Structure 1
């Protein structure tokens, strides 16, 4: 079977938070993109767990080919990381000058999956840590005409069916469907594995397949975003802290009075 894992490179969320808390996160002159020269990039955490889900299916004894695909030609480190983890194929799709929103990304990924004759299972992270929208996997399922299961904490394949354990607010939910299908993977899957030094060395020699939207048969209309970002800004956060002094009893009394008054 063929498993396609969709991966995205994002800014390190921890570094972004640290910059924001320190007041050092700035927006560029275009008013839409953050100035991020000093912030490292890495694989989206949920997408790394989608890769882990694919590898666990292989560990279950399922004969499969795992393909990691991303949008962007400057993502070689990301794809080599996927190769080191165990991806058999790595693919980079150059979006050119297209402005990417959820619709355009889904159109590109769907066109790629169709160009390879389809996939038995498409795995995605539940959302990206930079925009937190989580719309691409469901749009992708719609465009491929496939059923979708979301928020997977476990994915098992048996014959032509897939069993997904979903992490919901009301507890775990087990669903089963026929392949092909799209599944989004959540952090409840568990800690993803680390590549070995030997695997990293081997991945350095692996070159990604590079494609362009024209080669995938995408039209200019399919590369037009349905949603355009107008502005992005860092909200100003103001804190007002008052220190209470005196004995423990006095501090406790004043604190309770302030809480009741509030």
Structure 2
């Protein structure tokens, strides 16, 4: 079984929030991208949980090959982290100067999967922490003509079937379908494992297989973004905190008066 895990490098969300709260997050001169020189980059949290889902399938005793793939320049640190977690193969796809939106990313991933032997199961994070759209996995399933299940808190393989426990607002929902399939993994799957020192050392010697997007044979239309980012800005964050003094009864009375006045 070939399991493909799609991973993305994002800005550290905690660092971005801290910069925004401190009023230090700036947008570059192009008006679309943040100035991020001092903000660390790391694997998207949901994608790390997708890696964990793949490793748990292996833990079930399923004979599988786990391939981690990422699109973008200089993804080696991200991919070596996946190798340290347990990926058997890591793949870096260079987009060049192509503008990437969900449609283009899905087209590139679908072409790469099709041309490199296909996949029995594609695992993705439910969404990326930088844009929070979550559209790529379902677009990818459509282009591959795979079944799709979202918001997985557990993924199990039974022969040619995949069983997914979905975390919904109304409680857990269990669905089952035929492979091949695309499954998006949510944080309810639990804390992902940490790589061991030995696996980190082994991953340092592992080099990703590299692909250039033009080699995938996509048409100009398939590489044309359907959604174009026009502007991005940092909203002003304002806080107003007033401390009430006095004994418990005085504080309670003041609080009630202020609530009534508001």
SS in 2 for 1:20: helix
The CA deviation at 1:243 is: 3.1
Partner of 1:179: 179
Partner of 2:138: 138
Partner of 1:195: 195
C-alpha deviations, 1:9-61, integer Å up to 9, x for none? 00111111111111111111111011111111100000000000000001100
Size of the alignment, in residue pairs? 262
Partner of 1:106: 106
The CA deviation at 1:248 is: 3.3
The CA deviation at 1:83 is: 0.6
The CA deviation at 1:66 is: 0.5
- Measure the CA separation in 2 of the matches of 1:245 and 1:127: 45
Partner of 2:121: 121
- Measure the CA separation in 2 of the matches of 1:253 and 1:5: 57
The CA deviation at 1:261 is: 2.1
Deviation larger for 163-172 or 218-227: 218-227
Structure 2: unaligned runs, 5 residues or longer? none
- Measure the CA separation in 1 of the matches of 2:176 and 2:243: 56
TM-score, scaled to structure 1: 0.98
The CA deviation at 1:129 is: 0.6
C-alpha deviations, 1:87-112, integer Å up to 9, x for none? 11100000011111100110111111
Contact 1:73 1:210 (8 Å CA) reproduced: no
Structure 1: unaligned runs, 5 residues or longer? none
Partner of 2:260: 260
